Amino acid sequence: MKYIVCQKPGRFELLEKEEPICGEQEVLVEIKNIGICGTDLHAFQGNQAFFRYPRILGHELGALVLQVGKAVNGISVGEKVAILPYLSCGKCIACRKGKTNCCRNIQVLGVHIDGGMQERIAVPVNNVLSIEGLKYDAIAIIEPLAIAAHALRRADLEQGETVVVVGCGPIGLGIMKLAKLRGARVIAVDVVPQRLQFAREKMGVDHTINARQTPLETLTKITNGDLATTVFDASGNKKALESGVEYMAHGGTYVLVGLSKGALTFTHPAIHAKETSLLCSRNATMEDFQAVVKVLKSGEFPVEEFVTHRVHFDEMLEHFEKWTDPKAGVIKALVHL
What is the CATH number for 19?
3.90.180.10
Question: Are 176 and 224 in a shared domain?
Answer: yes
User: Do 99 and 176 share a domain, yes or no?
Assistant: no
Same domain, 190 and 81: no
List of the chain residues with pLDDT < 50:
none
Same domain, 119 and 19: yes
Distance CA(211)–CA(166), nearest Å, equals 9
256 and 327 co-located in one domain: no
Look at residue 290 and tell me if it is in a domain. no
**Are 50 and 158 within one domain?**
no
Residue 98 and residue 212 in one domain: no
Helix (H), strand (E) counts: the chain: 12, 17
> Is 294 within a domain?
no
| pLDDT at residue 327 in the model | 87
Would residue 184 count as lying in a domain? yes
212 is a domain residue: yes
Mean pLDDT of the chain, nearest integer: 96
Measure the N-to-C terminal CA separation of the chain; round to a whole number of Å: 12
Q: Which residues contact 86 (CB under 8 A, 6 or more apart)?
A: 100, 101, 103, 106, 107, 108, 109, 127, 283, 284
Phi, psi of 29 (to 5 degrees): -125, 155
Separation between Cα atoms, residue 152 and residue 158, nearest integer Å: 9
Instruction: Flag whether 103 is in a domain.
Output: yes
Assigned domain for 113 exists: yes
Residue 205 lies inside a defined structural domain of this protein: yes
Q: How far apart are CA 36 and CA 127, in angstroms?
A: 19
Kindly state whether residues 221 and 253 are assigned to the same domain.
yes
Do the domain assignments include residue 292? no
How many structural domains comprise the chain? 2
Are residue 111 and residue 238 in the same domain, yes or no?
no
What integer pLDDT is reported at residue 261 of this predicted model? 83
Strands 185-190 and 162-166: parallel
Rounded Cα–Cα distance for residues 266 and 113 (Å): 33
Residues 109 and 183 in one domain: no
Q: What is the pLDDT of residue 126?
A: 96
Q: Which domain holds residue 106?
A: 2-140+302-336
The reply to whether 64 and 136 lie within a common domain is: yes
CATH number of the domain enclosing 193:
3.40.50.720
Same domain? For 134 and 45 the reply is yes
